[in-house]
Amino acid sequence: MPAIAFDNSYARLPEHFFARLSPTPVPQPGLIAVNEALADELAIDPAHLRSEAGIAWLAGNALPEGAEPLAAAYAGHQFGGFVPQLGDGRAILLGEVVGRDGVRRDLQLKGAGPTPWSRGGDGRSPLGPVIREYLVSEAMAGLGVPTTRALAAVTTGESVWRQTGRLPGAVMARVAQSHIRVGSFQYFAARDDTEALRALADHVIDRHYPEARAAENPVLAMLEAVIARHSALVAQWMQLGFIHGVMNTDNCSIPGETIDFGPCAFMDRFDPAKVFSSIDRHGRYAWGNQGRIVQWNLAQLAQALLPLLAEDSEAALGLAQTAVDGFPSLFETAHTRGFAAKLGISQVQEGDEELIVASLRMMAEGGVDFTLFFRGLTSCARGGDASQLRALFEKPEVFAAWLPGWQQRVAAEQDAAGLMARVNPVFIPRNHRVEEAIQAARAGDLGPFQRLHAVLSRPYQEQPDNAAYEAAPQPEEEVLRTFCGT
Ligand code: AMP
Ligand code: MG
């Protein structure tokens, strides 16, 4: 029996959807990590992944039986500018596996060598971004956010050259419901290839949105469902203080997962205008802009789907516009519900939206750590002393003025503390901890990576032995910038 039960539906799409090619071998593969629980969900024996044969294909030095490797074609708006041809430049899809839960998932190697879409890049990935993606994507999964997953990571024994100099290389095995993006549709729309658009939409409906098939207009139903998933996703990100950092349309997943962890980061001190990415000079992808930007990305999807929405172009435009116009209210509802829960409110009532707005303003003005604030507030709801929470603020008087209003509102709730403990994590992948894990891994020590990963697998649970991982960075530990690392 093959080690992996591949069933590769994307590889059965028309040939101009991708380029078939194998990963480029590396000199000396070495295992970094295997995600045993995820392997098990995919019915892959974790022992196989740790074996010499497993490590060989994880590094791209061999192909697992049943794989049909390919690099997918896609386009995308990068920082608002349209690039008609991007594609997998350093990722190779090995194929798809249907897991124990019946869900079909892509198995992809990132950093597996050049492809026809590498555009001058080396097709490789340094170790740092692999460690970051492994930690942050698994943390997202632990936090309950739809996300691509890390199945395994290996070092290559090969150096990659970046602006900062020579870095150790790595390959990550990534799992996603699929790697189809808004940019996948844009690729064919830009070429007026309506037949391909239709084939892709059919594939997406069958694979990700089967309920849309029964609708009067299945493509419209699919578009609406993508919009709904993304409104919930971006609201979840914001509730955790997550800043994706590079929300280009090629990084906007059609199944609605968090994808591409290049310059992403969780913020420490709350600031709605916070940006980490070194290339986001104008704050396009700042924390507080993410709802608007997702809507913009979804408008690009709607635009690409126009030829499939209706025969009459005016009618198609009307349907697309209405679907996209539905985003703000879906997002606002998810945003309000989510932040209400963080404050201990189970059912949103009149006045709660104002309380949320005032809370966020208070947090920004008062200068408080986002995660510590909500966790401290959870302790307050349990009957804890507010003075500890007050001490987290640079300007405690701003907090003191806000507190009575919250106390009054939450007094009407049955189990505010219980609700808050479920939605306010104790642990997030703090940037300085991720950076620490990366630095250590570069020096050959995987201990900090493994410890951080273990802590983040139970983010909502108090872990007294790991209390140090709760802490905000000291000023000298603070990470101010993140890099795509490409
Ligand atoms: P990203 O910023 O990771 O979303 O990547 C944008 C585009 O650049 C995608 O088409 C990637 O495949 C491509 N790309 C990024 N890094 C590399 C690299 N090192 N080699 C080749 N292509 C790359
Ligand atoms: Mg990308």
Pairwise CA distance, residues 338 & 374, whole Å: 12
**Residue 368 Cα, ligand 1 centroid: separation in angstroms?**
35
Whether pLDDT at 27 is above 90 = yes
Q: How far is the CA of 35 from the centre of ligand 2 (A)?
A: 22
CA angle 471, 477, 481 (to 5 degrees): 110
CA of 194 from ligand 1 middle (Å) equals 26
Would residue 415 show up in a list of annotated catalytic residues for this protein?
A: no
* Among 124, 176, 115, 118, CA closest to 154: 124
| Residue 473 confidence (pLDDT) above 70 | yes
Output the residue whose Cα is nearest ligand 1's atom 6: 86
Residue 106, pLDDT above cutoff 80: yes
Mean pLDDT over each residue of the chain, to the nearest integer: 97
Q: DSSP state, 161?
A: E
**480, pLDDT greater than 90:** no
Which numbered ligand comes closest to the C-alpha of 88? 1
Confidence of residue 353 (pLDDT cuts 50, 70, 90): very high
- 164 falls in which pLDDT band (50, 70, 90)? confident
DSSP string, 10-70: GGGS-GGGEEE-PPPP-S--EEEEE-HHHHHHTT--HHHHHSHHHHHHHTTSS--TT---E
User: If pLDDT is split at 50, 70 and 90, which confidence band does 281 have?
Assistant: confident
What's the rounded mean pLDDT across residues 169-183? Answer: 98
Q: At what angle do helices 194-208 and 182-190 cross, to 10 degrees?
A: 160
DSSP run (H or E) holding 162? strand 149-162
Pocket test residue of 133, 174, 184, 486 for ligand 1, highest count of atoms within 8 A of CB: 486
pLDDT at 485: 61
Residue 486 in this model has a pLDDT that exceeds 70:
no
Q: Which residues lie with the beta carbon below 6 Å from any ligand 1 atom?
A: 86-90, 117-118, 121-124, 246, 250-251, 260, 262, 484, 486
Q: Tokens at residue 58, please?
A: 């994880």
**pLDDT at 424 exceeding the cut of 90:** yes
Pocket test for ligand 1, best of 90, 130, 172, 246 (most atoms within 8 A of CB): 90
Written as one string, the DSSP assignment of 394-449 is SSHHHHHHHHHHHHHHHTT-SSHHHHHHHHS-S---BHHHHHHHHHHHHTT--HHH
Say whether pLDDT at 21 is over 90. Answer: yes
In tens, the pLDDT along 227-274 reads 999 999 999 999 999 999 999 999 999 999 999 999 999 999 999 999
**What are the residue ranges of helices labelled H in 212-350?**
218-239, 290-309, 313-325, 327-342
